[in-house]
Amino acid sequence: MTAQRRTQEWNSSRYAEHARFVSDLGQSVLELLEVRAGERILDLGCGDGALTESIVLRGAQVVGVDSSPDMVQAARLRGIDARLVSAYRLPFDCEFDAVFSNAALHWMKRSPDVVIHGVRRALKPGGRFAGEMGGHGNVAAITVALCATLEGYGVKNIGSVSPWYFPTCEQYRERLESAGFAVSWLELIPRPTLLPTGMRPWLETFAIPFMKALPVDERSQFLDEVTKRLHPVLCDFRGGWTADYVRLRFLARLGE
């Protein structure tokens, strides 16, 4: 099975039901962005536009881009100027006062530097890049359970199955500075996160590339086994599930 067939898939309805906490918790990243009325801002990986709306309400002119047609359509239904664009091929040149990204950059594993350089091209001189992504140690227990369970199914090259890029502060700082950014703030933030609908729906929403490593008729059992492995670690005595999130949050600027 090729890597192409193992890519993540996004469904806006499923995301809204099982992962609305992602945009809700992204509000604090907006404070780091410090939106000013009249600014032109690019939301990189805008998803269904729930958080993008908050930028618009602050008086900015916002363009949202995402690689998922379903998410772009959902964002447009909110009145967002959302466009179907790959983060690896951003078509903007010196257009934006700021670029914002929440919970999207860690999905851009193939070439993070290409994404960062595209952000740089999109920004005006003095522009800023603010974002939050999964950082080193993010969903570590979940990843171990996914990989260990896949190994039991005889899957080879398990390291190539994961779609996620979770850098350390040092690694991401080096990438930003190599692209010409001055890093104003960068920190890893442990953030255990309650999963309102439980672990199994989280896996069905976010772990699709792992599922695609298996035949369709084995995927349900695979998810059951992963959930069982995680129960002693991430499920409390009331049956509530918490994901072991660690976020990397940053603010970087271009020179004038």
How high does pLDDT run on average in the chain?
A: 93
Give 4's pLDDT tier (boundaries 50, 70, 90): very low
Give 1's pLDDT tier (boundaries 50, 70, 90): very low
User: What is the model's pLDDT at position 19?
Assistant: 62
Token readout for 118 is 């595209």
In one-letter notation, the amino acid at residue 135 is G
3-state secondary structure the chain: CCHHHHCCCCCHHHHHHHCHHHHHHCHHHHHHHCCCCCCEEEEECCCCCCCHHHHHHCCCEEEEEECCHHHHHHHHHCCCEEEECCHHHCCCCCCEEEEEEECCHHHCCCCHHHHHHHHHHHEEEEEEEEEEEECCCCCHHHHHHHHHHHHHCCCCCHHHCCCCCCCCHHHHHHHHHHCCCEEEEEEEEECCEEECCCHHHHHHHHCHHHHCCCCHHHHHHHHHHHHHHHHHHHECCCCCEEECCEEEEEEEECCC
Reported as a single tens digit per residue, the pLDDT across 164-188 is 999 999 999 999 999 999 999 999 9
CATH numbers and ranges of domains, the chain = 3-138+163-194+245-253 (3.40.50.150)
User: What is the model's pLDDT at position 255?
Assistant: 82
User: What is the model's pLDDT at position 28?
Assistant: 83
Considering the entire predicted model, what is its pTM?
0.92
User: What is the model's pLDDT at position 156?
Assistant: 85
